Amino acid sequence: MRIPCPHCGPRTHEEFTYYGDATVRRPSATGPDAEAAFYDYVYTRDNPCGLHRELWFHQGGCHEWLVVERDTRNHDIKGAVPARSVFSADDAT
Amino acid sequence: MSSRIAQGGAINRQQVCRFTFDGAGYSGYAGDSLASALLANDIRLVGRSFKYHRPRGILSAGSEEPNALVELRSGARREPNTRATDIELYDGLEATSQNRWPSLKFDVQAINGLFSPLFVAGFYYKTFMWPASFWEKVYEPLIRRAAGLGRAALEADPDHYEKSWAHCDVLVIGAGPAGLAAALTAARTGARVILADENFVLGGRCLAERRTIDGQPAADWAAQAIAELRSMPDVRLFPRTTVFGVFDDGVYGAVERVNDHLPVPPEFQPRQRVWRFIAKQAVLASGAIERPLVFGNNDLPGVMLAGAVRTYLNRYAVLPGRRAVVFTDNDDGWTTAADLVAAGGQVAAIVDSREPVIVSELARRFPDIQAIAGEVNGARGGRHVESVEVTSRTGTSHRIDCNLVAMSGGWSPTLHLTSHKGNRPRWDEERSIFVPDMLPTGMRVAGAANGDMTLGEALVTGFRQGLTAAASCGFSGSMPALPRVTEESARRVPLWRVRQALGKCFVDFQNDVTTDDVELAEHEGYRSIEHLKRYTTLGMATDQGKTSGVTGIALLAQRRSIPVAATGTTTFRPPYTPVAMGALAGHHRGMDFRPTRYAPSHRWASELGASFTESGPWLRAQWFPRAGETDWFEPTCREVKAVRSTVGLCDVSTLGKIDVQGPDALKFIERLYANNFATLAVGRTRYGIMLREDGFMFDDGTAARLAENRYLITTTTAHAVQVYQHMHLCHQTLWPELDVQFVSVTDQWAQFAVAGPRSRALLQRVLDPRCDLSNEAFPFMACGEVALRNGEPARLFRISFSGELAYEIAVPGHRGDALIRTLHDAGQDLGVVPYGLEALNVLRVEKGHVVGSELNGQTTAHDLGFGRMLSTQKDFIGSVLGRRANLIDPARPRLVGIKTVDRNAKLAGGMHFIPQHAQRSIEHDQGHVTSVCYSPILEQWIGLGLLTNGPDRHGEKVMVVDPLRGAETLVEICSPVFIDPEGARLRG
Amino acid sequence: MADALHFTYSPGRLGRREGAPGLVLQELTQFALASVIARKGQAAQAVGAAQRAFGASPPTTPTIAAGSDIAFVWSGPGHWLALGPQSTESFEARLGTVFGTHASVFDQSGSRVLLELRGPRVRDVLAKGVSIDLHPRAFRTGDVAVTTASHLAVHLWQVADEPVYRLLVVRTWFDSLWRWLAASAAEYGCEVMAPTPYTL
């Protein structure tokens, strides 16, 4: 598998560390249902058949976290973007 | 060399190669395969079959060979299950037949054939079912001896293997006519091309056929094409290289047999090299594999694939039999008859299973050969075919004497690589072949691999696919003029099995699977092709059914009266042919299995004779034995006592170190650590704990505030990488708004613990005299920049893992060796002692400090006594879930100290706590012992453990039991801090 | 000669002895090294400051930019390794003055070993552990790769078309890198040169 690092170019997957679902967001620690919300955030995951957005760390390269879109059925990778840009955009909304 | 044809062939008759087979000496020529050399020497019997130990010969001329498996070389270099048909002959080759005892010609287990009803489909499951106790002791050893393939070498492989990467625009797999054509058109556009072929000579069937291209022999055309490719700088040719797997995103695995054609690789050269080809596009031109016909005793030596007969005749100049019968269901078989005649052989008959009208039309071309529209019912002979029984369509039977049967059941495209990513081939009913359907991204197929069986089609599709592949990479070129080629026909009417058979009809030669087995399996309900495979073993073992698969599928379809398309195929997975584990490991074996990390003091420590141990990737000193100390115990106790009475030196550079800077550095640290850092002053250090978001302990370490906006944090050796990754994750995804910068400086700083009552005195000798180390100027937990006596900068931290007055001093990594020597020399009269991991462990157990055994991923801050450190004033990673009731339950196993009641008793890590008079059972389990040591200060064994309600039970006596080793002893529960609980020493 | 941790770096011939060496290897010593990471939103200002002070713009793509005596090796977005000659003055302090509030600076002078590699088979040797494409169409003089060599993190850049490469590797991993390099170059023959002080 090769991951197109937006900073370094396409690289073999051995350079990356997999983390997991990139769509979950850390809830507020002070909300009324903080414990339930954190429980979902930490433990509850979908297991999609098809495209999945997930976090990978370019450990053997630029040390940037990436959001990689991967098809769970065949490992086809549609693209990768810097996690910073995805998560900063979240903040703006 | 009685079967060698006087002239022709792609062999070098000037270069004789001597070789042995089963100890007897023979000779062949350079350019021979082992199989062609054996045939040239009239060796027909090459092995014994898997189950029935039937005599077997050479079936094919390529990597699809199911029968002619031999052990190659001897001693440590012995390699089992190599195929005689694609071993390149070399001078000095040693080969041994397999699966026979006591000898190839007389094999006592051939008697298995008489008991063949025992060995039918599923026989493993049926015969060896009971009694269960017999399995390990009786059945398994029996089966392993009887149904064996070759023997692996028992010594370590003395040769070197390696791995490499290669990149290209277009990868062409297979260098037959289609592959050469594709490589030519692609390369002429300027694209970077890799051309790989499993054989030791490029050219494929151009070398094996008497065909012409533009009026010249196909082999000459191939030679010209190869010369042109070789002249181009961006083309790389890989003979002896099997592309064995297709992986994601244009990654292709290949193994190059760099030096398998020599008895011993030249010094410094690898035997084999595994390649990972990264290709933007690939053209698969892997050709086709001929199918055997299914008739009685079709496994007898001397029964051979018709196309292989042509290879031996034309490429190797070997006549595999003087008097042949050709049995075919297609036009291609007739070419073999023609080639046999041209080579001086005698063709006793051509038996063609098709309609008489077709047969008589073809027969007009061979007026001298008896053509029979009919079937071969069976072959006869002992260890070699002597005659065949033939029945014509008119019903007449003949016995025809012969010593070669050339059989052709048509050709199956070699499409395995199209399926490695999960795509299934499609059944082409008209041509009765599976053809590639959906392809892996970037792959195209040319020639016979795509079902385009004739030479003309191979060249056209090759040229075209090479050009299209290059175009997909942005290179343009044009189609060359199409060459004129010999006309041929691939007409076929499939004959999956003969109607009347004499004797066993083998479908899968390697696994001894017959038509009866297929029928029985279907009868017993194994109707899916995948079930049929598992039950009968059809398509398993080293050849993975290359010659048998399609016939097996067709027979199952026939039996079930369903179309072949509905039967489907089994799954093709990498590797295409077996790959040695050594080749896959490459350089990374033995001490190179994984990288080793050496601490800055390593050389100094080895000069002192230190014993080393692995700690994650690091090699760390365990203890520093002195003359007369023979085990670990004495030096460890001595080193511990030295730290507690004089001064010790220990390399702690392996701890992870991360330098954090920026205006938001404090905010960042506050969110990472569970305890408070807001009150930490510049020039001070604090112990910190990090949780995971699920509320369990993640890691511990210190954070030193070096400047207003600069912190140096340390992690445990084990978690250095994870903590660094975690910090990046938090910064880049959770808090991208924070203006904070950090980088690992683990390697930048060589750091040494200087611990013990005389540590201050020692440091004063090493540091700039202006440096004030008094308690007032540099108290416990202080940190700061200092200078060595030679003016070089260093950092000093007054932190203590041992509980003694202690410091850690850090200098840039390349100065570490010099500093440790300076410290060691300067402290000789102070009684300085280097100490290793064992002493470090004793010192920390005596002080109740937790390490990996306690930070085991299952403990919480409360469990380890850090509950009160958790800040309630801030949000930090783990703050919410760490508060869950079950995680702060006092009844959880929590940290305690233990000491043996009997001062002579020993402890072992992993012992379980059981109340004193309770039964030793899981119901009474109350936790376990995590760390133990012999304390030379307390002069007894002590330990740390996680005990239910532990901190409330100090003074209680509890059993610790080790049911595995049958040990148990009574311990007293106590505070985990055994020495100096008030901390007076470290503040001294 | 920088102190290798385990083996002895000694000049001489490794592997095949006949003919010209396929790989020529030389350790470069006496360099100063620092990580420079731009503060949030300050990357352009950091680049400008470096341009004014050193005549080199820290690159925004994986390349190396050399100024009067300092070169910036791309290491990630807004992240560079500054490489300069060793001096009695603190490299971190010198860079810190230039970058001010635009970037954080971390001394790394003791953390790495720097090798120069050349010779007719240098690409073949590197291909045995480096997965990126080093063909002249894909990787040119001035290009940088932050990647792995034999599973170890390295910075690799090309300094001449011949080609000549420089390889920066973490000091405590250096022994393992060396063992891989020596094994990979053995079939071509490898000439190890005496260490020499770093120059641009």
DSSP secondary structure string, C16-79? --SSS-SEEEEEEESEEEEEEEEPTT-HHHHHHHHHHHHS----SSSBEEE-SS-EEEEEETTE
Whether residue C131 and residue A14 make contact (CB cut-off 8 A), yes or no, is yes
Return the pLDDT at B490: 84
Closest-CA distance, A49 to chain B, in angstroms, reads 16
CB pairs under 8 A between A and B: 72
Question: Mind telling me how many Å the CA of A12 is from chain C's nearest CA?
Answer: 7
Confidence of residue C1 (pLDDT cuts 50, 70, 90): very low
CA distance B472 to B281: 8
Query: Which positions in chain B touch A31 (Cβ < 8 Å)?
Result: none
Average pLDDT over residues B396-421: 97
Whole-number Å distance between alpha carbons of B813 and B819: 10
Q: Is B750 on the interface with C (CB under 8 A)?
A: yes
Tell me whether A72 touches chain B (CB under 8 Å): no
Find how far residue B604's CA is from the centre of its chain. Answer: 37
* C-alpha gyration radius of chain C: 17
pTM given for the model = 0.95
Model confidence over B247-300: pLDDT tens digits? 999 999 999 999 999 999 999 999 999 999 999 999 999 999 999 999 999 999
Q: How big, in percent rounded to 5, are the helix, strand and coil portions of chain B?
A: 25, 30, 45
pLDDT tens-digit readout, B875-897: 999 999 999 999 999 999 999 99
Could you tell me if B81 and B98 are in contact, meaning their C-beta atoms sit under 8 angstroms apart? yes
- B135 falls in which pLDDT band (50, 70, 90)? low
Instruction: Give chain C positions within 8 Å (CB) of B276.
Output: 131
Q: Does A38 touch chain B (CB under 8 A)?
A: yes
Q: Residue B964: which of B919, B908, B899 has the closest Cα?
A: B908
Residue type, B811: V
The first and second tokens of residue A37, run together, are: 């919300």
CA C143/CA B328 separation, integer angstroms: 61
Q: Using a CB-CB distance cutoff of 8 angstroms, which residues of chain A are in contact with residue C145?
A: 8
Q: Residue B125: is its pLDDT beyond 80?
A: no
CA distance readout (Å), B606 to B110, B551, B609, C170? 61, 65, 5, 21
Q: Do B600 and C111 touch (CB under 8 A)?
A: no
The backbone torsions φ and ψ at residue B76, rounded to the nearest 5 degrees and listed phi first, read -65, -20
Which two three-digit tokens encode residue B340? 């046999």
A21 lies within 8 A of chain B by CB? no
Q: What span, in angstroms and rounded, lies between the C-alpha atoms of B600 and C110?
A: 11
What span, in angstroms and rounded, lies between the C-alpha atoms of B852 and B585?
Answer: 30
Comparing B125-139, B276-290, B661-675, B826-840, which segment has the lowest mean pLDDT? Answer: B125-139
Q: Which of A5, A16, A24, A26 to mutate to test the interface with B (most CBs of B within 10 A)?
A: A26
- Work out the end-to-end distance of chain A between its first and last CA atoms, rounded to an integer number of angstroms: 34
pLDDT of residue B131: 66
The per-residue pLDDT of chain B, averaged, comes to 94
Q: Is the pLDDT of residue C2 over 50?
A: no
Give A63's contacts in chain C (Cβ within 8 Å): 76, 79
Whether pLDDT at B144 is above 70: no
- In this predicted structure, the answer to whether residue B595 has a pLDDT above a threshold of 90 is yes
Predicted pLDDT at A93: 46
User: What is the rounded CA–CA span in Å between residue B772 and residue B764?
Assistant: 8
- Reported confidence tier of residue B118, pLDDT bands at 50, 70, 90: low
Distances (CA, A) of B335 to B356, B395, B820, B971: 18, 26, 81, 89
Check if A40 contacts B (Cβ < 8 Å): no
Q: Is the pLDDT of residue B50 over 90?
A: no
Distance CA B778, CA B765 (A): 16
A42 vs B contacts (CB less than 8 Å) = 693-694, 881
Q: Over the stretch B348-372, which tens digit does the pLDDT of each residue have?
A: 999 999 999 999 999 998 888 999 9
- The token pair that represents B262 in the structure block: 């020599």
**Strand ranges, E, within B331-439:** 346-352, 371-380, 387-392, 397-401, 404-408, 411-413, 426-428, 433-435
Identify the pLDDT of residue B611: 97
Is residue A91 scored above 90 in pLDDT?
no
Give how far A33 is from chain B: nearest CA, Å: 10
pLDDT at B48 over 70: yes
pLDDT-based confidence at residue B107 (cuts at 50, 70, 90): confident
Instruction: Assess contact for C177 and C115: CB atoms under 8 A.
Output: no
CB-based contact (8 Å) between A88 and chain B?
yes
Give A65 to chain B, closest Cα distance, Å: 7
Nearest by CB to residue B587, choosing from C103, C170, C180, is C180
**pLDDT on residue C91:** 96
Domains of chain C and any CATH numbers: 2-29+111-197 (3.30.1360.120), 31-107 (3.30.70.1400)
pLDDT above 50 (res B537): yes
C135 Cα to chain A: minimum distance (Å) = 15
A2/B249 CB distance under 8 A: yes
Question: Has residue B947 got a pLDDT over 70?
Answer: yes
Which residue of C73, C132, C143 to mutate against A (max A Cβ within 10 Å)?
C132
Query: pLDDT tens digits, residue range C70-102?
Result: 999 999 999 999 999 999 889 999 999 999 999
Question: Cα separation of C42 and C96, whole Å?
Answer: 14
CA distance B71 to B51: 18
The predicted pLDDT at position B149 comes to 76
The three-point CA angle B153-B158-B163 to 5° equals 105
Cα–Cα distance between B46 and B176 in angstroms, integer? 28
List the beta strands (DSSP E) in C70-130.
71-76, 79-85, 103-107, 112-118
Of B918 and B117, more confident: B918
Question: How many beta-carbon contacts under 8 Å exist across A and C?
Answer: 36
Residue by residue, DSSP assigns B824-859 as HHHTGGGTEEE--HHHHHHHHHHHT---TTTSSSS-
| pLDDT(B121) > 80 | no
| pLDDT tens digit sequence for B446-476 | 999 999 999 999 999 999 999 999 999 999 9
- Specify the pLDDT at position A63: 97
Residues of B in contact with A84 (CB under 8 A): 732-733, 736
- What domains are defined for chain A? 2-24+42-92 (3.30.2270.10)
Dist CA B349 CA B372 (whole Å): 7
Tokens of C161: 């078309």
Q: What is the pLDDT of residues B682-730, one digit of tens each?
A: 999 999 999 999 999 999 999 999 999 999 999 999 999 999 999 999 9
- pLDDT confidence tier of residue C65, bands split at 50, 70 and 90: very high
CB-based contact (8 Å) between B103 and chain A? no
CB contact under 8 A, A61 and C79: no
Cis peptide upstream of residue B131 (ω within 30 degrees of 0): yes
C-alpha torsion sign, points B74, B80, B84, B89? negative
Which residues on B lie below 8 Å from C138 (Cβ)? Answer: 167
* Distance between CA atoms of residues B795 and B781, nearest Å: 13
User: Closest Cα of chain C to B772: distance in Å?
Assistant: 23
> Residue B968 in contact with residue B920, Cβ under 8 Å?
yes
CB within 8 Å: B662 and C103: no
Q: Is C131 in contact with A12 (Cβ distance < 8 A)?
A: yes
Q: Please, which residues have CB within 8 angstroms of residue B233's CB and are 6 or more apart in sequence?
A: none
The string of DSSP codes covering B939-968 is TEEEEEEEEETGGGGTT-EEEEEETTTTEE
What CA–CA distance (Å, rounded) separates B506 from B548? 9
Residues 60-79 in C contacting B (C-alpha not used; CB under 8 Å)? none
Q: Which of 8-37 (C) contact B at CB < 8 A?
A: 15-16, 35, 37
Rg over CA atoms, chain A = 15
Q: Which one of C172, C174, C181 would you mutate to disrupt binding with B, by most B Cβ within 10 Å of its Cβ?
A: C172
Confidence tier at C43 by pLDDT (50, 70, 90)? very high
Alpha-carbon distance of B879 to B871, in angstroms, equals 8
- Strand B806-812 to B793-797 pairing: antiparallel
Question: Rounded to whole angstroms, how far apart are CA atoms B157 and B78?
Answer: 9
Cβ-contact B408, B307 below 8 angstroms: yes
- Give how far Cα B874 sits from Cα of B565, B692, B704, Å: 66, 16, 20
Q: How far apart are CA B402 and CA B711, in angstroms?
A: 89
Best mutation target, B732, B735, B741, B870, to test chain A (most A CBs within 10 A): B732
- With beta carbons under 8 A apart, name residues in chain A contacting B736: 84, 87-88, 91
The percent of residues in chain B predicted with pLDDT above 70, rounded, is 96
The CA-atom distances, in angstroms, between B375 and each of B302, B307, B354, B359, B368 are: 18, 19, 9, 12, 20
Residue in B119, B33, B101, B40 with CA at minimum distance from that of residue B68: B33
CA distances from B254 to B228, B245, B251, B603, C199 (A): 24, 7, 10, 40, 41
Q: Please, are residues B547 and B289 in contact by the beta-carbon 8 Å criterion?
A: yes
Dist CA A59 CA B19 (whole Å): 52
- Distance from the Cα of C17 to chain A's closest Cα (Å) equals 34
> Would the pLDDT of B104 be above 70?
yes
pLDDT of res. B51: 83
Q: Is C109 on the interface with B (CB under 8 A)?
A: yes
Going by the DSSP 8-state scheme, the letter that residue B102 receives in this structure is: B
Q: Which pair of tokens denotes residue B691? A: 């949780």
Q: Output phi, psi for B306, to 5 deg.
A: -65, -40
Helices (H), C103-193: 122-127, 174-185
Q: Do C131 and A15 touch (CB under 8 A)?
A: yes
- Give tens-digit pLDDT for B205-231: 999 999 999 999 999 999 999 999 999
One-letter amino acid identity for B831? G
SS3 B620: strand
Tokens of B706: 């070096």
Average pLDDT value for residue range B799-815? 96
How much is the average pLDDT of B159-166? Answer: 97
Nearest CA-CA distance, residue B292 and chain C, Å: 41
- HEC string of chain A? CEEEECCCEEEEHHHCEEEEECCCCCCCCCCCCHHHHHHHHHHCCCCCCCEEEEEEECCCCCCCEEEEEEECCCCCEEEEEEHHHHHHHHHHC
Least confident range from B111-120, B602-611, B969-978: namely B111-120
Query: Considering only CB atoms, which chain C residues are within 8 Å of A61?
Result: 76, 146-147
CA angle A31, A34, A37 (to 5 degrees): 120
Whole-angstrom Cα distance, residue B309 to residue B292? 13
Enumerate residues 33 to 92 of chain A having a beta carbon within 8 A of any beta carbon in chain C.
Answer: 59-64, 82
Give the residue among B37, B315, B318 at the shortest CA–CA distance from B176.
B315
Question: What is the pLDDT averaged over residues B433-458?
Answer: 96
CA distance C4 to C14: 17
Measured distance CA(B157)–CA(B845) in Å, rounded:
44
Handedness of CA C11, C14, C20, C25 (dihedral sign): negative
- C153 touches A: beta carbon within 8 Å: yes
Q: Quick check: C153 and A12 CB within 8 A?
A: no
